[in-house]
Amino acid sequence: MSGQVRREAWSAVPLCRPRRRLVQPEPPTWLGSDRLLARVVGRPVTRFLHIEAGGGLVLLAATVAALVWANSPWSQSYVDLWHTSISVTVGSHTISEDLRHWVNDGLMAVFFFVVGLEIKRELVVGQLASFRDAAVPVVAAIGGMVVPAAIYLAFNSGGPGAAGWGIPMATDIAFALGVLALLGSRVPPALKILLLGLAIVDDIGAIVVIAIFYTEQLALGALAVALGGLALVVILRRAGVWYPPLYGAVGVVVWVATLESGIHATLAGVALGLLTPARPLMSDLDADRIAHELSPDAEVTATEVKEISFRLRASVSVAERLEEGLHPWASYFCVPMFALANAGLVISSDAVSDAVGSSLAIGVFLGLVVGKLVGVTLATWLAVRFGLGRLPEGVAWRDIVGMAALAGIGFTVSLFIGGLAFSDPLLVDQAKMGVLAASVVAAAVGVLLLRSPRHEPGGPPPVADTGVR
């Protein structure tokens, strides 16, 4: 029997092995190619999305840690830590703030500097550089700001919470992209780019709101110093001076002067980011010519390699280099520290009952959950219906509704605006309760919508037919 099995086994083996076919190497993907659009837009945006998605998970961990700590037997240590006073003295000038304000005014200035860099890149070479590409995210973001603010004011106009209308206007891009990352291949890649564009326009709106409506009395002398520092940055750029420590020193002066002026110090970060050059100093043709100087057959010294590398640095814009270096710090440290310092809300039966009966918390909750979903979806439909733009390839209307729901995750900037809008701790806590509850519900609704059965973009959309063919 065993011999028969061996003979059958041997008979199944071919007498000669088939020749191996030479496998041709796969051509590089579009993102891996050397095309201008891939280098200038594709790869930077991909890196951005990966960092934001990972940062969203770290932000979630920091939020949970703050809530657990604030509601634990060690809650007093949480309060004492963030009320620790820290003073910095330079000459005769002293800045004294508690630790929470150093985080809110200092670390968040770094975050908003990165936001300014992202906005500048998108306006110059990215998704917002042309009207056709920018129309849908711009109109969607406007709808996602106006409708939530209107819903909030419907509950709070004329009351003590009226100043908080800017709270439900914000979208937390780190949390939203983190949720999209958890959904994996269920989400078309183009939807992530669209959400990124929407969130950047949303950030612009939040910055304008903070600058105009949440600025207290101005100290004109300090404001003049801040504006002078920004003018110096422009002069240094025009003169071709690119010495990073000098720009860093000017940036610190601008930040301190902005802090003393009465304008929120984070706006200094935005202004400096917007003044950073987003176009490379060297053209792609010049970069290719220099790169080809390094011939594989030539004997090149280490000095020559360093010289070529140094010269090629000019082919990458200053904004892109700064964003590459600072973006991980902003996403993995600055924003999570802000959450740890500000999300520590004491959740008790009394606090929950106060929030449920509070028009402020209800306005924030409905503004983020309902207002964002309706505002973003309706504005996108109008933009497509009237020919201002079109949906990205592979994106169906179900995806748009799911994205609109995720835009209701306000969190970081919503908490930030809440802290600026109110000085009464009770109102601040009610705003926090509304933001936290809305962010959880918006994330859940967005996940459910994006996990539902897909409709092909060419098929009938679940919302309405646009009439555009």
Same domain as 357, residue 294? no
Same domain as 411, residue 333? yes
449 closest CA partner among 383, 376, 400: 400
pLDDT grade, residue 1 (50/70/90)? very low
Question: 57-71, 274-288, 303-317 — which is least confidently predicted?
Answer: 303-317
Per-residue pLDDT reduced to its tens digit, 266-286: 889 888 988 888 776 655 555
How far is it, in rounded angstroms, from Cα 181 to Cα 450? 12
Does residue 176 have a pLDDT over 80?
A: yes
**Confidence at residue 292, expressed as pLDDT on a 0 to 100 scale:** 60
Does residue 22 have a pLDDT over 70?
A: no
User: What is the full DSSP assignment across 44-55?
Assistant: HHHHHHHHHHHH
Same domain as 353, residue 307? no
Q: Which structural domain range is residue 291 located in?
A: 287-313
Q: Where are the alpha helices (DSSP H) in 239-313?
A: 244-261, 266-274, 284-291, 302-312
Does residue 305 have a pLDDT over 80?
A: no
Does residue 78 have a pLDDT over 60?
A: yes
Same domain as 393, residue 361? yes
**Confidence at residue 9, expressed as pLDDT on a 0 to 100 scale:** 42
Quote the percentage of the chain above a pLDDT of 90: 31
112 closest CA partner among 407, 318, 323, 257: 323
Asked if 164 and 401 touch (Cβ cutoff 8 Å), the reply is no
Does residue 289 have a pLDDT over 70?
A: no
Q: Is residue 196 part of a domain?
A: yes
Helix, strand, coil shares of the chain, percent, nearest 5, are 70, 5, 30
Q: Is residue 105 part of a domain?
A: yes
pLDDT grade, residue 306 (50/70/90)? low
Phi and psi at residue 243, in whole multiples of 5°? -105, 105
How far is it, in rounded angstroms, from Cα 423 to Cα 169? 20
* CATH assignment of the domain containing 149: 1.20.1530.10
Does residue 207 have a pLDDT over 60?
A: yes
Same domain as 388, residue 331? yes
**Confidence at residue 172, expressed as pLDDT on a 0 to 100 scale:** 85
100 closest CA partner among 315, 448, 453, 419: 419
Per-residue pLDDT reduced to its tens digit, 435-447: 999 999 999 999 9
Same domain as 370, residue 339? yes
The count of structural domains within the chain is 2
Same domain as 407, residue 292? no
SS3 of residue 374 by DSSP: helix
pLDDT grade, residue 459 (50/70/90)? very low
Same domain as 301, residue 173? no
203 closest CA partner among 417, 462, 456: 417
**Confidence at residue 30, expressed as pLDDT on a 0 to 100 scale:** 46
pTM score above 0.75: no
Single-letter residue type at 280: P
